[in-house]
Amino acid sequence: MTEQKIKTLFLYEDTANGTFFFELEGDYSHLNNVYINDTTSTDEQQAELTELLLTDREPYFKLPTLEAPTRDWAHFVRCGFLA
């Protein structure tokens, strides 16, 4: 029997560019409700989110976006960028 890998589904909301889904192996639930440019998220949380998902050049996202959420995730994170 194969071991199931724990995954986190990200709903990334960007006020300028729309909403995207991403998926990463591991538990990133501590990043739930973390938004870049939001004073309620710590600098450390924002830096971790940026490092995981974003680059400084186009296409700006390190991970491929999903057209729809998958069904095999254990954790869900709502996060994004506030303009």
Q: Please write the tens of the pLDDT for every residue from 3-60.
A: 778 999 999 999 888 999 999 999 999 999 999 999 999 999 999 999 999 988 888 8
For 50, the enclosing helix (H) or strand (E) is: helix 43-53
3-state secondary structure of 52: helix
Q: How far apart are CA 14 and CA 12, in angstroms?
A: 7
Residue ranges per domain, the chain? 7-81
pTM of the model: 0.88
